[in-house]
Structures are given as C-alpha cells and as structure tokens.
Structure 1
Amino acid sequence: MPVLDLTSDPIDLCAALVDVPSVSGDEATLADAVELALQKQAPHLELLRSGDAVLARTNLGRERRVLLAGHLDTVPIADNVPSRREGELLYGCGTTDMKSGDAVLAHLAATLTDPRHDLTLVFYDCEEVEAARNGLNRIEREHRDWLRADLAILAEPTNAGVEAGCQGTLRAEITTRGRRAHSARSWHGSNAVHAAAAVLERLNAYTAREVDIDGCVYREGLQAVRIDGGVAMNVVPDECVVTVNFRFAPDRDGAAAEAHVREVFDGFELAVTDLAPGALPGLTEPAAAEFIAATGATPSAKFGWTDVSRFAALGIPAVNYGPGDPNLAHTREEHVDTRQITDAVAVLRRFLAP
C-alpha cells in the first residue's frame, strides 16, 4: 500500500496522491491509503469508511461545523501518471480535478488539531461518472448525520477563487414527427427533420436571463446539443429528435426550470431526460460570510453543476474553492500551479485556525 505523509508539504502530498491511480470505480487503493494515513497521523479525528469513501471529523463542541469535501476519483488516465514537476507546475491525471484539493484538505486534517470550528472531511468516490454512482448518495443514505454542517466547501478547481453555488442543468428531447416516403416521391411524405427547423428557430431567438444573487451573476443558457434524425439516404424521415440543455440560475428549482423549457417549446412534444437543481450561494449565512472574509476574494457565480448542489439540497450553504484551473480538467496536459496549493492551505488555515 502506498504510504502518504499528510504532514509533508501539500505539493509533495498532491504528487503522491496523483501517483496512486484512482479512476472512477477503482478508488480502493487510494481510499485505503488515505484511511491508514488519517488513522496514524490524525488521531484527533473520528473516522468512518463508507465503500471507497473516507470520512473524518472532530467532535470539539464548537458552535459551528464546516464540511470540507473532495472526490478521490479521476477520469481515465491519458498517459499522464506518474506525476512530473516542471518549475512551479505539477503535471498528472487529477492534479487539477481534484487531487490538489484533496491534498489541501488531507494536510489540514492532520495538522490542524484544534480548529475554531468543528470539521468534517469527506473524501468520496465516483464523482466523475453517472450521478447514481456518486459516493455522496450512499453517504447521505447511510450516514446522514455525517453531512451535518453550517458551511460546505467543495475543493473543486477554481483557480483558488471562490465560486459560489452552481447552475442547475436540465436536458430534454424535443421530437418532431412526419410521414415516411421514398425521397424520389417526397411529396407523399412529411419530413420530420425539416420540421425541427422550428425548434432551432426558437433557440436562435432565445434571450438568456442574467440573475444577481448575493452579488454573483448567473447567466442562463438554452442550447441544442444534439440532433438525431434520418432513416436511409433515400427515405423521407418520419422522426427527428433535438436534444437541448438548459443551464439555469439557482433561483429556479427543478420544477420551475422544466416549466420554463416547456413554455419555450410550447406546442412541441417534449420529454425531460435529466434534471439536477442548482445551489444558491448562501453567502449571507454567517459561516459563509466569515469564509469569504478570510479569502479576501470577491466571489463569482459557478457556471456549471457541481456537488455543492447536493449540500444545498440538505440546507447547507456551499461554495467551490480549490487550486487548479478547471479548463485543464480531464485533459492530457492537466496540471496545477503549485503556488495555488500553498495559497489554498494558507487561506483555509486562516479561516479555520483559532
């Protein structure tokens, strides 16, 4: 089993985490190593193993509890393990998404023995695959009390800035129908692909809404992301499906988002195929406001969906904060500026230390 030194420089710890492959569904070795390291190097923490997730917490009776979370899994390796260092940059699968964030959290878990807030740390599995496999689902179902907190900080890559809340996401399929015919006698048919032009016209005319929530501006978007239609090269198609994706501000819940999409495409056959609500930033909550003050940063809206939505659904204000450029996630050239790792440790220690 790889041996992790949680008290070492968190940059070196990040490299050690990257060097343990942990593609989604194969996190056991890394989870074992994290669990053993916490057992030996953080005796002040209560530990819990849930599948390939490792949870730890203090029980100091503090007025507030802060939850720090990061996923252990990565996308499939693209010839970028083991890690390598070039100046201030650390390259390797997961350096940005999100083993640099995990290193920050694990280092603080071992070295911050008397925090001013009680802490819960959640290192979980299967974030990079379908939502049904996400380890947070299992933890919520089986160990709900471990997710109690006044603030959740998800160490997703944000270039060491604060991205508050997140957008919701909805996918829907809009189907147009016609009548099949031989293309040589097309007047006997009705082309469903041509009928889909009306769907695209509504999308082209759509004006995205911008919403300011707690000083963070969320911009919505409604886009066609796929079109399926056609039978053969000599057949007028009788069915066409346009898949649309709606990214919506967190002031809409799932029902409101669906109602809006149905209103936009009123008169068309529409089926929602995926829906995940967003997360309100909650920056006016005391613990969140205190964290923002510690960072000295101006929060921005999170464009995209992250697991902060799961915490928000539990009534916990949640933000994204971690080292790494999200634009580098899942790429062959994935890397992290190691100075962001150092900075993130300093910011969180300033927030959490007595």
Structure 2
Amino acid sequence: MEFQYTLAPSSMRASGGGSSIGLNGRPPLQLPALPKSSTANFKALAAYVEAFRAAEPKGTLVLALVTAEEDDSAGTEALLRGGPPRPSHVYVGEPTDLHVAYAYRGGGKVELTVRTRGGHSSSPIYGNPFEALWRAYSALKDRLRPGERFADFSLMPTIVRCGDAPNKVPVECTAVLDVRIPPGRTCKELEKALEGLPARLKTCTEPAEANPTSPAARALVRGLLKAGVEPKLSKKYGTSDLNLLISLTRSIVAFGPGDPKLAHTEDEAVDVADVE
C-alpha cells in the first residue's frame, strides 16, 4: 500500500480508503530538550510512530502529533476544529503500563487570589493574607470532599505565590489548584463549589468514560494476546486528550508503555522491551 504524508503543526496523515483510525500522540515539540518527566509520554509517542510506519491498513490511518496536552490541548483542539477525517476508532498514546485505559477523570485549574493593602509585618492591624488563602482552600476542600478513589474529586495545590519581602505583609497571595473530576460529576459542579470564594475556574475539561468493549478496545486486546501480553483494563486518575477526542467516537482507548504511578517524577522511565 502506498502512503501519502502531509505535515501540519499537529498532524501527520496517511491516506487509504474505507474507515479511519486515529493514533494520537504528543511530542515535546515546544521544548528545546526532552525533560525526564516526559519520558513515558515520549516513548508512547515513539511506539505509535513505529506502529504507524509499519502498518498496512485497509482503510485510512492518521497519526496526529499534538502539542500542549499537559496545558490547554491546543493541538487536539485544532484537530477538532477541522483536521483529518472523522475517525471511526482512536488510540491515544499515554503511559498506561500497557493497560487498556478507557476512562479518565476530568480536570480543572482553579486560581485562588487574596489581595491586601500591604503593610509592615510587625503590625497586628493588617491581618494575614496567607491565612485567608488557606481558609479559602480549606473551604473548597470541605465542599469537594476529595479522596483517594477514582470516584472521588482530588484537590492538589501546585503553585503558591505570596509576598515579595521578608518584612512586608503580602499585597497578593495566589494559589493554583489542580482539581480532578470523577465521571458522573461535572465542571458546573466544580464552578458552583467556588461560589463565595476568592476563586476563578481558569479551565475545565469534563470527565470521560468509553465502552471497554468497543471495537477499538477489543482490537487492542486481541493484539496484546497475539503478542503474549495479558490484557488488562484500567481507569486513569488523570486527564488526557481522550477526554476531548471521545466527542468524535466512542470507540476510543488510551494505551502505551510507562508506569503512570511514576508520571511527572524524577524516577519516570520506560522499559525498552515495552516500547518494542
């Protein structure tokens, strides 16, 4: 079969006929060098590129190399606005430890902000903006009741900025909170939980759960069995482009090498055998 390729900021495309299968991966194209914390994602991409190169599909196979999956999913958003043909089935490159992942929690970025007139740190009349920030965080935590189960919200402060001098009451204290939303709950619920707090919802992606017996999932299970790998289904605690691409087709799963428990750590690594 002869392939025809066209390159765009977020996609590479091969044309055939019949149904369309999408392979979605994320290269670190916006970075001057590959950080260690992107190892698993990059290896999942490498595996998808090799699968794309070696494939002899009966239909159309599309390899989408998308950017900013960890931020605003700009690459995938661009595809959704008008990219390759609407796929019948989609595989998303993610570190799943070779599990077939069919569900992801949603994700929201919340910004808390407390402002004051400032003042000298020795004076008792100005109050404590850091404590006000903490009270807002605690109130949101009480409302969401985060837990350790997939079915729970999670709430994690990831960035905190407060003050610019050791002897001055901070004029502004801010915190960015990473909130994950379980299936069955919504971004609107998160937004409602912020009412009355010095907070704004910067971005939010709805949770997603596909059918674990979809054609994409079944085909992947058959391929794993053929390769001598025991198929395992899983739900992931994070959020990915699967949450957006599910709007194109319900026949969608995420798959790739790399232990998700090590994601974004200094210990992130991938076995070469898993990539092969």
- Of all paired residues, the percent bearing the same amino acid is 23
- 1:73 is aligned to 28
Cα separation, partners in 2 of 1:109 and 1:200, compared to 1, 3 Å: closer
**Are 1:247 and 2:180 matched, yes or no?**
yes
Q: Could you give the per-residue CA deviations for residues 102-122 of structure 1, whole angstroms, max 9, x where no partner exists?
A: 44434444444255xx34221
Q: Which residue of 1 aligns with 2:199?
A: 270
Instruction: Please name the residue that 1:282 is paired with.
Output: 211
Match of 1:53 in 2: 11
Contact 2:95 2:255 (C-alpha < 8 Å) held by counterparts: yes
Determine the C-alpha separation between the residues in 2 that align with 1:282 and 1:336: 28
Please identify which structure carries the higher helix content: 1
- Quote the RMSD (CA, aligned, Å): 3.5
Larger relative contact order (Cα-Cα within 8 Å, sequence gap ≥ 6)? 2
Question: For the Cα contact (< 8 Å) 1:169–1:247, is it kept in 2?
Answer: yes
Task: Please tell me whether the aligned partners of residues 181 and 235 of structure 1 are also in contact (alpha carbons under 8 angstroms).
Answer: yes
| Secondary structure of 1:97's aligned partner | helix
* Counterpart Cα distance in 1 of 2:51 and 2:173: 53
* Cα 1:334–1:183 shift into 2, 3 Å: closer
Structure-1 separation of matches of 2:110 and 2:51: 42
Q: Equivalent residue for 1:124? A: 65
Instruction: Give 1 or 2 for the bigger CA radius of gyration.
Output: 1
The structure-2 alpha-carbon separation of the partners of 1:291 and 1:207, relative to structure 1 and needing over 3 Å to count, comes to: farther
1:101 aligns with 2:44: yes
Deviations 1:146-169 (A, max 9, x none): 241232111222221122232221
Work out the CA distance in 1 between the residues paired with 2:39 and 2:134. 43
- Aligned AA for 1:192? P
- CA distance in 2 between counterparts of 1:328 and 1:190 reads 41
Select the residue among 101, 109, 118 that pairs with 1:171.
109
Alignment partners' CA distance in 2, 1:333 and 1:225: 19
2:134 is the alignment partner of 1:197: yes
Q: Which runs of 5+ in 2 are unaligned?
A: 225-229
Q: TM-score scaled by structure 1?
A: 0.62
Query: Partners in 2 of 1:47 and 1:165 — Cα distance?
Result: 31
Residue equivalent to 1:137: 77
Report the equivalent of 1:223: 156
Q: CA deviation at 1:312?
A: 1.5
**Alignment partner of 1:291 is 2:247:** no
Q: Equivalents in 2 of 1:232, 1:268: separation in Å?
A: 26
SS in 2 for 1:182: coil
Task: Give the conservation status (yes or no) of the 8 Å contact 1:68–1:119.
Answer: no
Amino acid at match of 1:70: G
State the Cα distance separating 1:272 from its structure 2 match: 1.5
Q: Is 1:300 matched with 2:241? A: no
Task: Provide the secondary structure at the position in 1 that maps to 2:14.
Answer: strand
In 1, the alpha carbon distance for the partners of 2:128 and 2:191 equals 28
Give the secondary structure class of the aligned counterpart of 2:244: helix
